[in-house]
Amino acid sequence: MNKRQRKKKLQKSCDHRFSARIREILILITDEYEKFLTNEECPDLTDELSENLYSKILLRIDERNKIE
């Protein structure tokens, strides 16, 4: 499933439960996790992957706050 299909599926299934920001974060997490899987690596969710995601999520939130 590509990013666009995943985003549509997530939007359909979670529209009433999640805000747009949370959906974007979930999609970002899924994308990052899939990058590790396609590299045939087993990610350590407490180390490299989580640090990378944390920084990307903070950047995304900062970008959104600047827009608003």
pLDDT tens digits along 47-56: 666 667 777 7
Q: Where are the domains of the chain?
A: 3-67
Give the lowest-confidence range in 7-11, 15-19, 28-32: 15-19
Q: How many residues does the chain have?
A: 68
15 pLDDT more than 60: no
Question: For residue 49, what pLDDT is reported?
Answer: 62
Interval 2-14 mean pLDDT:
66
Looking at the predicted structure, is the pLDDT value of residue 25 above 70?
A: yes
CB-based contact 35:29 (threshold 8 Å)? no
The residue type at 40: E
Q: Which residue has the tokens 């950047």?
A: 59
Beta strands in the chain (DSSP E): none
Give SS3 for 38.
helix
When the pLDDT of each residue in the chain is averaged and rounded to a whole number, the result is 69
